[in-house]
Amino acid sequence: MGGRFITLEGVDGAGKSTHLTWLVKQLRSRGHRVAQTREPGGTPLGEKLRELLLGEPMHLETEALLMFAARREHLERVIKPSLARGDWVVCDRFTDASFAYQGGGRGLSTEKLGILETWVQGDLQPDLTLLFDVPIDIAAQRMAGADRQLDRFEQEHADFHQRVRAAYLARAARMPERVKVIDSRQSLEDIHKQLELITSSV
């Protein structure tokens, strides 16, 4: 019984973190050993890079390179060893976020991102990606209700988030086998049913 690599994606405010917590509990109750992790971050160095990435203004290519530098470390120290042990890995964001935010949001070319993707992860891809999709006005309302300071990405304008959402959906349309779109406007109960169904066949 091998482990599986599952990633969760979506625009800021799509409710992904809530669903991630539920999913991890659910997988553990099915008897799987699950490593729960996140990007950018997931390692001591990655978490330091995360702080810089979320707080410090920088050139868009610097941003992309640091995202992939953190990812390299994460793959080597957490993701690959966990999968090799047969554990499941549930990761809050991965490379699809780079294509959506640095590509769609900031306008970095898909070609450059593709080079970094191949360099950093070779042919390793998630077995399953859950894309939580929600219209940007709803996502913005959810974020406005958060009682914490918004990070550098969350502070971006609505058109940035529109481009991020469009890039995510375009990627899902190109890779329907791996990327499953979940309408985040549904009730929690309906989302849970859908998650159970999707993850039972991965």
The residues that touch ligand TYD, with contacts defined as CB under 6 A, are 12, 17, 39-40, 67, 92-93, 97-98, 101-102, 153-154
Shortest Å distance, C-beta 117 to ligand TYD: 10
Shortest Å distance, C-beta 110 to ligand TYD: 14
Q: Using an 8 Å Cβ cutoff, are 13 and 160 in contact? A: no
Residue 106 to residue 44: CA distance in whole angstroms? 27
Shortest Å distance, C-beta 74 to ligand TYD: 10
Structure tokens at 89: 């890995």
Three-state DSSP string of the chain: CCCCEEEEEECCCCCHHHHHHHHHHHHHHCCCCEEEEECCCCCHHHHHHHHHHHHCCCCHHHHHHHHHHHHHHHHHHHHHHHHHCCCEEEEECCHHHHHHHHHHHCCCCHHHHHHHHHHHHCCCCCCEEEEEECCHHHHHHHHHCCCCCCCCCCCCCHHHHHHHHHHHHHHHHHCCCCEEEEECCCCHHHHHHHHHHHHHCC
Shortest Å distance, C-beta 113 to ligand TYD: 9
Smaller CB separation from ligand TYD, 91 or 195: 91
Smaller CB separation from ligand TYD, 4 or 74: 74
Smaller CB separation from ligand TYD, 12 or 133: 12
Smaller CB separation from ligand TYD, 92 or 133: 92
Shortest Å distance, C-beta 21 to ligand TYD: 12
Smaller CB separation from ligand TYD, 64 or 195: 64
Smaller CB separation from ligand TYD, 61 or 86: 61
Shortest Å distance, C-beta 93 to ligand TYD: 4
